[in-house]
Amino acid sequence: MQLDEELFIFLNNLGTTTWDGFWLFITDKLASIPLYAVLLYLLYKSYGLKPTLVILVLVAGMITCTDQLANVFKHGFQRPRPCQEDFIEQARYIAVRCGRYGYFSAHAASSTALAIFIGLLLKRFYKYIFGFMLIWALVVSYSRIYVGVHYPGDVLTGIVIGTLIGVIFYQLFKFINYKYFTKQNPTG
């Protein structure tokens, strides 16, 4: 825990008021809507209408899964967020609000799950999409440390759980695609 606190203080204090607005924007869930619109277009272009509708249903299920799992962990572990700790005076807390508990980061889990899932779906169509999606997920994940609401351990756990969930949902799509849409769009 002490290492996590020290790493949090170090990473959080890398911030400056010049960049605060940027990181507050990045950590806002609505900031990624333009990215989601582009990804939806790329999915439709690559897979067609019916598989894209299945993908949307799976994304909704995947995000629900990461969010609800984060809530179970949050209430099960009851780990205080850094913004609730005494040492927050040594850090920069700029978030709009701070919940009481925060293990693990739902932002990190959801963005990583989406990055893995969509990256795997589109990587054979678009050469750099997987790397781009991973960078996007890491930036969103780091934003939680920057604004002062999650420890690095919370973020890392969210990334690991998000990776697992993203792979599971990708495998689920491959099964559904093979069973119902193979003649239209076989996946690798």
pLDDT tens, position by position, 136-155: 999 999 999 999 999 999 99
53 closest CA partner among 62, 45, 44, 42: 44
Supply the DSSP string of 161-186, one letter for each residue.
HHHHHHHHHHHHHHHHIIIIITTT--
DSSP SS3 for 101: strand
103 closest CA partner among 77, 84, 85, 83: 77
Res 92: pLDDT: 87
- Give phi and psi for 13, each to the nearest 5: -80, 0
Most confident of 81-85, 90-94, 126-130: 126-130
pLDDT band at 84 (very low <50, low <70, confident <90, very high): confident
Res 43: pLDDT: 97
User: From residue 126, how far is each of 37, 136, 165, 188 by CA, in Å?
Assistant: 16, 16, 22, 14
Average pLDDT for the chain: 92
pLDDT digits (tens, 9 = 90+) for 100-141: 888 889 999 999 999 999 999 999 999 999 999 999 999 999
pTM for the model: 0.91
d(CA 113, CA 171): 13
- The DSSP letter of residue 37 is H
Q: Which domains are delineated in the chain?
A: 2-181 (1.20.144.10)
Res 102: pLDDT: 84
Contact between 148 and 95 under an 8 Å Cβ cutoff? The reply is: yes
